[in-house]
Amino acid sequence: MPFDFKGKKVLVTGAGKGIGRGVAIALKKAGCKVYALSRTKSTLDSLVEECPDIIQIVADLSDWEGTREKLEQLEVLDGLANIAGIAGHDYAAVNCPKEYINHLLDNNLLSAINCSQVVAKKMIEAGVKGSIVNCSSISGMAAFPMCLPYAVSKAGMDMVTKQFALELGPHKIRVNSVDPGLVNTPLVQSLIEKGRCSVETFSSRSPMGRIPTVEEIVGPILYLLSEHSTMVTGQMHVVDGGCLSNITVKV
DSSP-derived letter for residue 14 is S
Q: Nearest Cα to 134, choosing from 248, 203, 114?
A: 114
Looking at residue 1, what is its pLDDT? 66
pTM of the model: 0.95
- Active-site annotation holds for 154: yes
Catalytic residue among 28, 35, 150, 223: 150
Report the CATH number of the 9-245 domain.
3.40.50.720
Looking at residue 77, what is its pLDDT? 98
CA gap 47, 34 in Å, rounded: 11
Looking at residue 56, what is its pLDDT? 98
Looking at residue 194, what is its pLDDT? 80
Looking at residue 186, what is its pLDDT? 80
State in Å, rounded, how far the first CA of the chain is from the last one: 39
Q: Identify the helix (H) or strand (E) that includes residue 104.
A: helix 98-105
- Active-site annotation holds for 17: no
- What does the pLDDT look like over 125-168, one tens digit per residue? 999 999 999 999 999 999 999 999 999 999 999 999 999 999 99
CA gap 28, 74 in Å, rounded: 18
DSSP structure string for 40-97: -HHHHHHHHHHSTTPEEEE--TT-HHHHHHHHHTSPP-SEEEE-------SS-GGG--
Q: Nearest Cα to 217, choosing from 129, 113, 133?
A: 133
Backbone CA torsion sign across 95, 97, 102, 108 = negative
Looking at residue 191, what is its pLDDT? 77
Instruction: Give the start-to-end residue ranges of the domains of the chain.
Output: 9-245
Looking at residue 173, what is its pLDDT? 98
Catalytic residue among 8, 28, 33, 154: 154
Could you list the pLDDT tens digit for every one of the 251 residues in the chain?
689 999 999 999 999 999 999 999 999 999 999 999 999 999 999 999 999 999 999 999 999 999 999 999 999 999 999 999 998 889 999 999 999 999 999 999 999 999 999 999 999 999 999 999 999 999 999 999 999 999 999 999 999 999 999 999 999 999 999 999 989 888 778 777 887 778 888 888 899 999 899 999 999 999 999 999 999 999 999 999 999 998 888 77
- What does the pLDDT look like over 179-195, one tens digit per residue? 999 898 887 787 778 87
Any idea what the Cα angle at residue 158 is, between residues 7 and 178, rounded to 5°? 50
Contact 176, 233 (CB under 8 A): yes
CA gap 197, 213 in Å, rounded: 16
